[in-house]
Each structure stands twice: as C-alpha cells, then as structure tokens.
C-alpha cells in the first residue's frame, strides 16, 4: 500500500496518510497550522465524539436522516454512525486528531476532523471501503447534519469543561478539604502563636488555623460547582449564526437532553442562540472561578510551606514529608517541593485567565467568537493542572503532615502579644509599655508582670492562659 492516498473535497484533491481515518479537510489544516505541535486536549476530542453522538440521536429520532434525496440513510447506517461517534468519545481515535490548537478560530478544522473520522469509521463498520472517494456516509451531509461548527464546537467545549470539572477537579478538592478537616480535628488542642503581617499576634490553636484552610477548600468546591453552572447552556441548535437554519426546531433541546443523560451534567439548550453562538461569556466566567480556586490553592500551599520552614531556623510548626534531596550542593537539605509544585500550577492557571478574558472580550464579533480553540484548550489545561496538582499535593504532602507540638507551644510564651489579654485589666497604653519593656529586657510578659505585681497571681494566671486566648471571652 502507498504511503499516501488521494482524498477530495470542494477545493480539489489532497494527499492524506494512507491509513488515516481523517480525510482532506483535516489534512489541509495540518499543513496550514504547523504552529505549536499541540493537538486538541483529549477531553475536547472525546466531547466532540459525544456531541456528534447526541446530534445523530436527535436526527434519528426526528426522522431527518430518512428523508428522500441526498441525505437518505437506513437505520443500520445510522446506528453504525452512532457507534463510530461513541468510539471517538471513548478515546479510541485520539491519534486521528492531529490538528494544531492554533487553527481556524471557530474550530471548523477540528469539527471536520471529527466528521471525517466518524464517517470513515462508520463506513468501515458497515464493511465498506473507507478509502473510496464516494462516501455512503458523508462527513458533511450525514455526520454534520443539522449542525454548524459555530454551534457544535462551543457545545463540545462546554461539555468537556463541565465533565472535566465534575469528574476530576471537584473530587480532588474534596479530598484536600477532607484531609485538612481531619488535621484540624486532630490538632485542635495544640496551641501556637498567631501571625498577622508576618509579625507575632495572639495565640490560636493549630487546629483552628487548619480549620480555616479547610473552609477555603470547601468554598473552592462551591466555586467549582458554580464554574460548571456557567457552561450549562449549550449553543447547539443555533447552526451558523444562531438562527437555526437547516435544522429542526427541536434539535437543540434534544441534543442537550441526550448530552445531559450521557454525561450526568445538567446541560440545557441555550436560552438565546444568538448569544450562545456569538459569545463565550460563560466560559470566561467559568475560568474566573478556576482562577479563584487557584488563588486559594496557592495561598493554602504557601501557608503550609511557611509553617513547615526550618527545621532549625524557621517556624517548623508542622513537619512536611521528605520527598527528595533538596540541593545539589548542601547535603541533607530537604525542600517543600510539593508546595512549590502546586504554587507553580496555580501561577499558570492565574495566567491562563488572562488568555480567557482577552479571548472573550475581543474575540467575539457579531455572530461568532473566533478564539474558541485556544479558549477550550486553556480552560481544560487549567482544570487538568488544578486537579492533578491538588491530587499530588494531597497524596505526597497533606496526608503525611505532622504537627510539631513542641515548636508550636515554645513560641507562645515568648510572644509579646500575650499582653493583649491584659487590656481589659490595665488598658491599652500600659499594656503597650509592658510589651516594649519586655522586648527590651528579653523577659516574657508573664515574668515582667510578676516582677511588677501588675495583677494578683491567680488573676494573672487566668489572664495569661494561652488556651483561653483562643476563644471569645464572656
């Protein structure tokens, strides 16, 4: 067999790799966009297969595929086309999607890539010759029936994003939240010094500090759920400009219903197809929630990094697991590498949000946004990075963190902020003078108060009880 075969489209003949399931329009795009070497994210490829399956189901049930004329298909051919689409959705043909991310802004090249692969695979399943120029199952007439790239490609992006958040990011965030909640309970009786402005503050319990982190993750889970809500409306049914030309009035709702059943995500038809086709505001909103999650994860992992600093010249209030040697020159040095990894993930996601914002604001003119491939790719990258980065942090760091109770307790008595609990007894100004004198003399607040008989011994003991300082006083 020759290394290439000849395929044909409306622009003429094209040489295509002999065994490829794709055809001429895909090959033209491969040649036109030798940019990054990055194919579409696999989640988006799978979502395109699922969208094509749902469109086929809608056309089958509406009876459009059995009309007389060019578009006539029998029931068996329809089922074979659906089977081929399901195979794409399952990832069987990922290697048949070679087009670069930085392609035509509508995603037409990748939509036709999906149409060609599904058509040729359906022909093959029927026992036909997928290499023949005449296509009994045609990529445009049959696989793309009732559709335009302009409504199905953004639909696939929404489906991919919603499913990816639900299946990977939310479970990762829940695992992290559960670990932090467990640590908060385990460490609830360990008293340590608080810090504001990186300066000594009043005592709190290590469990309270980690309970705050756990709450941040709980809020992040809610933001991930809100991110899904932002992409629930699907443009499918609007075809080229939102008018629904060349499709059935029920097509969009039927496709959305099928996708809802297949994915378990509450997808619905766009309330207004002109908005649904033209703008990607929902995707920008979605990524805004991802940016907020990244902000939280950066903050939590950085706080944990600080708390684990040391082991002799830092805080060292928690012990982080040793994962690998930390220096090529300093023997025995171990670094908080998992914290650093997650922080870099978050920096990337925060940067990605700029791409989404610009693409949404400047990319949508009149009836179409022409930045969709990069928007889809970048959003899916952010979800993947956040989910995998969080999973790795939980498995290799958070699960194995230990409290260093000795270090936590040792810092409390030395803190000048212990004087805060004396405010109700001696007033702010006298308390401030005591703090300055304690710092200058190197004595603790308790020692200075005892020497100067500031309060009776029993009252002083009660006032300077560190545990009582960690809760409101009645």
Active-site option among 197, 220, 382, 415: 197
How much helix, strand and coil, in percent to the nearest 5, is found in the chain? Answer: 60, 10, 30
- Among the options 243, 327, 441, 468, which is catalytic? 327
**In the block, residue with structure tokens 């489209």:** 9
- How far is residue 142 from each of residues 10, 66, 136, 246, 410, measured CA to CA in Å? 17, 11, 9, 13, 74
Run of H or E including 44: helix 42-62
Cβ-based neighbours of 14, under 8 Å, separated by 6 or more: 6, 7, 8, 23, 24, 27, 28
Q: How far is CA 356 from CA 21, 168, 220, 359, 467, in A?
A: 32, 21, 20, 5, 48
SS3 92: coil
- The CA–CA distances, whole Å, from 283 to 50, 72, 155, 293, 420 equal 19, 37, 11, 15, 48
Token output for 453: 């008989």
Tokens of 315: 């805080």
Cβ count near 172 (within 10 Å)? 24
| Active site (annotated) includes residue 327 | yes
The first and second tokens of residue 268, run together, are 């619905």
Residue linked to tokens 């829940």? 174
**CA nearest neighbour of 280 among 372, 380, 351:** 372
Name the DSSP class of 245.
T
Phi, psi for residue 259 in degrees, rounded to 5:
-65, -35
Q: Is 421 exposed, middle or buried (0-12, 13-18, 19+ CB in 10 A)?
A: buried
Shortest CA distance to 135 belongs to which of 152, 121, 114, 149? 121
* Residue 266 contacts residue 233 (beta carbons within 8 Å): no
List the one residue out of 267, 280, 389, 406 whose CA is nearest residue 340.
Answer: 389
**Which of helix, strand or coil describes residue 343?**
helix
Start-to-end Cα distance in the chain: 88
* C-alpha distances in Å from residue 339, one per residue of 217, 296, 321, 380: 16, 13, 11, 22
Active-site residue list: 197, 327
């Amino acid at each position: 067999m020759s290394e290439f075969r000849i395929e044909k489209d409306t622009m003429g003949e094209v040489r295509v790799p002999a065994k490829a399931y794709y055809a001429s329009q895909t090959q033209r795009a491969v040649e036109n966009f030798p940019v990054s070497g990055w194919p579409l994210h696999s989640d988006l490829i799978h979502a395109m297969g699922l969208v094509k399956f749902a469109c086929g189901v809608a056309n089958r049930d509406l009876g459009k595929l059995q009309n007389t004329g060019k578009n006539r298909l029998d029931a068996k051919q329809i089922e074979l086309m659906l089977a081929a689409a399901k195979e794409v959705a399952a990832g069987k043909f990922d290697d048949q999607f070679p087009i670069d991310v930085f392609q035509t802004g509508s995603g037409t090249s990748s939509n036709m890539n999906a149409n060609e692969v599904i058509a040729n695979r359906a022909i093959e399943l029927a026992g036909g010759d997928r290499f023949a120029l005449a296509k009994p199952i045609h990529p445009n007439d049959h696989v793309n029936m009732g559709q335009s790239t302009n409504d199905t490609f953004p639909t696939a992006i929404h489906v991919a994003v919603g499913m990816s958040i639900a299946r990977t990011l939310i479970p990762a965030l829940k695992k992290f939240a559960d670990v932090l909640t467990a640590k908060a309970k385990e460490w609830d009786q360990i008293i340590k010094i608080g810090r504001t402005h990186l300066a000594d503050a009043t005592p709190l319990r290590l469990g309270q500090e980690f309970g705050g982190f756990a709450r941040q993750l709980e809020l992040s889970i809610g933001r991930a759920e809100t991110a899904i809500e932002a992409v629930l409306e699907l443009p499918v049914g609007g075809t080229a400009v939102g008018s629904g030309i060349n499709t059935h009035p029920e097509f969009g709702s039927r496709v959305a219903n099928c996708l809802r059943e297949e994915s378990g995500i509450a997808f619905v038809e766009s309330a207004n197809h002109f908005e649904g086709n033209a703008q990607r505001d929902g995707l920008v909103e979605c990524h805004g929630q991802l940016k907020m999650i990244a902000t939280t994860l950066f903050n939590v992992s950085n706080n944990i990094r600080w708390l684990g600093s040391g082991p002799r010249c830092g805080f060292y209030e928690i012990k982080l697991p040793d994962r690998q040697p930390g220096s090529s020159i300093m023997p025995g040095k171990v670094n908080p590498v998992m914290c650093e990894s997650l922080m870099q993930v978050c920096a990337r996601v925060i940067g990605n949000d700029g791409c989404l914002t610009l693409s949404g604001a400047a990319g949508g003119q009149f009836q179409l946004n022409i930045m969709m491939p990069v928007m889809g790719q970048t959003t899916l990258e952010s979800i993947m990075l956040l989910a995998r980065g969080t999973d790795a942090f939980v498995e290799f760091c958070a699960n194995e963190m230990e409290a260093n109770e000795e270090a936590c307790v040792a810092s409390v008595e030395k803190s000048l902020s212990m004087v805060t609990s004396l405010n109700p007894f001696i007033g702010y100004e006298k308390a401030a003078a005591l703090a300055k004198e304690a710092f200058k003399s190197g004595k603790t607040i308790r020692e200075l108060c005892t020497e100067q008989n500031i309060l009776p011994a029993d009252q002083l003991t009660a006032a300077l009880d560190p545990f009582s300082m960690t809760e409101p006083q009645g």
